[in-house]
């Protein structure tokens, strides 16, 4: 599954711009447009009191997206699954999950899963997990409260130790060496745009980061580039990971949180409190450790 489109969009806008136009006010360049119609569907069970009374809450998570969210033998697994359960437990209810496919962009994902619903079928969730937080983007999507920042994510490079016994690879090496990426991901966008396209011949694209790591493990490529957690989840003894400087990469690290429909502020406050408590006592860091992943504390 591709990295959420807000990250790619931010990279497209900023990657080769030395100064952001939004350095002081992230909403300064935004002219409010006519607001989309707010649908009134699926409102039962959305208020915090209703959630507590019914004893469960629904989380939207991305399908087939290890190590964050996937199903194994019919059971939900992943970092986002465990954090969602933690949030639900703090509120005093059970967590239920709606595994969703990634839409055309992040705005579509939020619209379909939080405030309007899909055109055909689908369910509106109480909370959507793994929503990248960006103050400029938040100006443009007024139907969603962006809260509960629970971790940071960053881009890294995995490489075969036998291919690089002395020096660790940097992006310039991929003018000559093969590198695996998830198709249409932020890594794909970055490497394809670097050095006027000189790396294109050596980029090997796969449907997801797991496929890229499988190719690396089999020796089909010398390196792979993706979010660090996805690389770590596919790590073997023959592979190492590092994070070199990435020239021209303005969005190499970002903050992850959740989305809640703007009409249900008490729920968003409860979710944020649950995340804050779990960060303070180390429970979220422990979840990452259980999956063998590095935990990057979020910017809150």
Q: What is the pLDDT of residues 192-226, one digit of tens each?
A: 999 999 999 999 999 999 999 999 999 999 999 99
Distance CA 292, CA 86 (A): 19
Q: How would you class 105 by CB atoms within 10 Å of its CB: exposed for 0-12, middle for 13-18, buried for 19 or more?
A: middle
Contact 136, 27 (CB under 8 A): yes
Residue 69 DSSP symbol = B
Please check the confidence at residue 120 and state whether its pLDDT lies above 90: no
Sign of the Cα torsion 36, 120, 9, 254 reads positive
Please check the confidence at residue 22 and state whether its pLDDT lies above 50: no
Give the pLDDT confidence score for residue 208 in this predicted structure: 94
Count of domains observed in the chain: 2
Structure tokens at 189: 């966008």
Contact 8, 186 (CB under 8 A): yes
Lowest mean per-residue pLDDT among 39-53, 135-149, 152-166, 268-282 = 39-53
Please check the confidence at residue 188 and state whether its pLDDT lies above 70: yes
Whether residue 18 is contained in a domain is answered as no
Does 45 share its domain with 135?
A: yes
| Residue in the block written with tokens 């002219």 | 31
Distance CA 298, CA 300 (A): 6
Distance CA 60, CA 98 (A): 5
Does 52 share its domain with 86?
A: yes
Whether residue 20 is contained in a domain is answered as no
Distance CA 6, CA 137 (A): 8
Does 165 share its domain with 215?
A: yes
Whether residue 27 is contained in a domain is answered as no
Contact 155, 225 (CB under 8 A): yes
Whether residue 297 is contained in a domain is answered as no
Whether residue 199 is contained in a domain is answered as yes
Whether residue 296 is contained in a domain is answered as no
Distance CA 71, CA 210 (A): 15
Does 9 share its domain with 108?
A: yes
Whether residue 24 is contained in a domain is answered as no
Whether residue 25 is contained in a domain is answered as no
Does 283 share its domain with 205?
A: no
Does 93 share its domain with 111?
A: yes
Contact 269, 204 (CB under 8 A): no
Does 141 share its domain with 48?
A: yes
Distance CA 9, CA 219 (A): 32
Distance CA 82, CA 154 (A): 20
Query: Taking the complete model, does pTM exceed 0.85, yes or no?
Result: yes
Does 193 share its domain with 159?
A: yes
Does 73 share its domain with 134?
A: yes
Does 54 share its domain with 167?
A: no
Does 174 share its domain with 264?
A: no
Contact 150, 277 (CB under 8 A): no
Q: Helix, strand, or coil here: 11? A: helix
What CATH number did the domain enclosing 225 receive? Answer: 3.40.190.10
Distance CA 130, CA 144 (A): 14
Average pLDDT, the chain: 88
Does 61 share its domain with 116?
A: yes
The residue range of the domain holding 198 is 154-242
269-279 burial, b at 16+ Cβ within 10 Å, e below that, comes to ebbbebbbebb
Tell me which residue of 102, 105, 80 sits closest to 8, measured CA to CA: 105
Give the pLDDT confidence score for residue 8 in this predicted structure: 54
Lowest mean per-residue pLDDT among 12-26, 64-78, 92-106 = 12-26
Give the pLDDT confidence score for residue 260 in this predicted structure: 96
């Amino acid at each position: 599954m591709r990295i959420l489109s807000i990250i790619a969009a931010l990279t497209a806008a900023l990657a080769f711009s030395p100064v952001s136009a939004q350095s002081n006010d992230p909403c300064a360049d935004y002219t409010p447009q006519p607001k989309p119609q707010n649908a009134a569907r699926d409102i039962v069970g959305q208020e915090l009191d209703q959630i507590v009374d019914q004893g469960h809450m629904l989380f939207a998570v991305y399908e087939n997206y290890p190590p964050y969210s996937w199903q194994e033998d019919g059971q939900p697994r992943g970092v986002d699954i465990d954090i969602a359960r933690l949030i639900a437990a703090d509120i005093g209810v059970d967590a239920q999950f709606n595994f969703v496919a990634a839409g055309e962009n992040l705005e579509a994902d939020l619209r379909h899963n939080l405030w309007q619903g899909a055109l055909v079928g689908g369910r509106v969730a109480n909370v959507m997990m793994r929503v990248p937080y960006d103050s400029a983007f938040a100006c443009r999507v007024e139907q969603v409260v962006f809260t509960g920042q629970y971790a940071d994510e960053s881009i890294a490079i995995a490489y075969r130790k036998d291919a690089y016994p002395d020096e660790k690879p940097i992006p310039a090496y991929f003018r000559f060496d093969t590198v695996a990426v998830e198709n249409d991901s932020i890594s794909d966008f970055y490497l394809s745009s670097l050095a006027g396209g000189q790396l294109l011949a050596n980029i090997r694209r796969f449907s997801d980061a797991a496929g890229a790591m499988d190719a690396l493990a089999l020796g089909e490529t010398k390196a792979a580039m993706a979010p660090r957690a996805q690389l770590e989840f596919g790590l073997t003894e023959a592979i190492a990971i590092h994070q070199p400087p990435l020239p021209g990469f303005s969005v190499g690290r970002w903050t992850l949180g959740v989305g809640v429909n703007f009409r249900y502020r008490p729920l968003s406050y409860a979710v944020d409190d649950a995340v804050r408590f779990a960060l303070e006592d180390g429970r979220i860091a422990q979840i990452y450790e259980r999956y063998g992943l590095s935990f990057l504390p979020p910017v809150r």
